[in-house]
Amino acid sequence: MKIVMKKGMQMAALAMVSMLACGTLQAQDAPKYSNEFLAVGVGARALGMGNAYTAAVNDVTSGYWNPAGILGVKGDLQVGLMHSEYFAGIAKYDYIGLAKPIDSVSTIGFSFIRFGIDNIPNTIDLIDPSGNIDYDRITSFSSADHAFIITYARKMKVPGLSIGGNAKVIYRRVGSFGKAWGFGLDGGAQYERDRWRFSAVARDVTSTFNAWSYTLDERTIEVFQQTNNDIPENSVEVTLPRLNLGAARQFKFGAKFDLLAAVDLENTFDGRRNTLVQTSLVSVDPRVGLELGYAGVVYVRTGVSNIQYVTDLSDKKQLSIQPNIGLGLKIKSVSLDYALTDIGDNSVALYSNIFSLKFDLFKKPT
């Protein structure tokens, strides 16, 4: 009985660690799901518009959505902040961005993103060598993904055309058990003509490679073996390129009201996905967003995303659409935005309240 109990306790204790480690190995077999923490999105304005934002973006969050859009920053320094929590506060997502114009034709920016679960109980040593349960032997660890992004954008000689690029460093860590370093590049462009704006963003244009390495002591390996868990091995995880195409149009209604309409098409080339348009060559995920503004102060936003076919209990496919809503308030150089959005699979209600803050700093006149 003691042996059975011991194995059962150890299997439960290792459940979280095993899922995290095995998730890395599975991602190697299915690279389309690599670095998915970078698919969540930043900024409540964009999330409220259903992520239809690559053509509309013109602020510090361009470091995430489209590096070319960072040229829209007008202050001496623009700062963006966002904090959100998912799964009843278990997972935390944090973002901070900085953007600064270099001169009249170029801008540089920096973004930091962290998505993590903290204080995960590590009960590998819960049972001592004599078979006794000792709760004082429980420790904790964090599983977190980090992205460091440097952005540069420049206006071209062609009127209305801007291009930009990202260099990003990925750091992922599962306690002291394993870690990965990765590096990737993004490229983006925006073209503005009259009230139209068009965009193209190539994410992970050269593919992003995460090199995983594991450090497991003899005790951990022993417990893995006793509970029939796979022992993770050093590996390389690949994030394949994707292409986002977007368009946005600004409309004016009288002296006070304006409407921004935007559409994005995210194209992936890693096999058939559950998207609205899916082929063996390319899968297309469309997104549509609207923003109604009053006097440049108050904004109401909505958007649809994650349009896909889902199979119900009777084995019939139905079209599923994820709605998103948001509000915005801008007072002088400070913007406060709110969004109610789902972070992923709209077949399960995982809606979260998202708040983000953005403000500009200006040099004092001399």
Each residue's pLDDT tens digit, 164-202: 999 999 999 988 888 999 999 999 999 999 999 999 999
pTM over 0.95: no
Of the CATH numbers 3.30.410, 2.40.50, 1.10.3470, 2.40.160, which one belongs to the domain with range 2-361?
A: 2.40.160
Q: How confident is the model at residue 25 (pLDDT cuts 50, 70, 90)?
A: very low
Least confident of 194-208, 211-225, 327-341: 211-225
Higher pLDDT pick, 177 / 20: 177
Q: Where does the pLDDT of residue 132 fall: very low under 50, low under 70, confident under 90, or very high at 90 and above?
A: confident
Specify the pLDDT at position 161.
97
Angle at 202 between CA 199 and CA 203, to 5 degrees: 125
Element (H, E) at 364: none
Q: Which of 154-158, 235-239, 342-346, 354-358 has the lowest mean pLDDT?
A: 342-346
| Rounded-to-integer distance, Cα 345 and Cα 273, Å | 13
Two tokens, residue 243: 């292409």
Contacts of 103 (CB under 8 A, 6+ apart): none
User: Does position 345 have pLDDT exceeding 60, yes or no?
Assistant: no
- Give the angle 96-201-71 at the CA atoms, nearest 5°: 55
| Confidence band of 23 (pLDDT split at 50, 70, 90) | very low
Task: Find, among 251, 335, 312, 321, the residue nearest to 286 by Cα.
Answer: 321
Separation of alpha carbons 127 and 123, rounded Å: 8
pLDDT at 24 over 80: no
Q: What is the pLDDT of residues 238-273, one digit of tens each?
A: 889 999 999 999 999 988 999 999 999 999 988 888
